Amino acid sequence: MKLKFNDFTTTTVERVGTKAVEADYQELLAEGWERKAKPVRLIGLGVRL
């Protein structure tokens, strides 16, 4: 998951797993947001098979 903040800085968080579960995405979002704690302007999601 890639987060772009209102000041145009970016952070990326990722996790290796066997399933794409909504709870995992929520945890990644929280982890990434806690790094800057600023308003988010863009969220990018990716899944690799």
* Residue 23, in any domain of the structure: yes
| pLDDT at residue 21 in the model | 85
> Reduced to 3 states, what is the DSSP secondary structure of residue 42?
strand
Q: What is the mean pLDDT of residues 7-30?
A: 90
Has residue 40 been placed in a domain? yes
pLDDT value at residue 29: 94
How many separate domains does the chain show? 1
In a domain, 49, yes or no: no
Determine the pLDDT at residue 6: 96
- Find out whether 48 and 15 touch, Cβ atoms under 8 Å: no
Cα-Cα-Cα-Cα dihedral sign, residues 34, 18, 20, 8: positive
* Structural domain harbouring 32: 2-44
Would you state the torsion angle of the CA atoms of residues 17, 21, 27, 30, taken in this order, to the nearest 10 degrees?
120
Instruction: Say if 31 falls within a structural domain.
Output: yes
Alpha helices of 1-49 — where are they, by DSSP H? 22-36
Closest CA to 32 of 6, 18, 7, 12: 12
Mean pLDDT of 20-46: 92
Within-domain flag for 17? yes
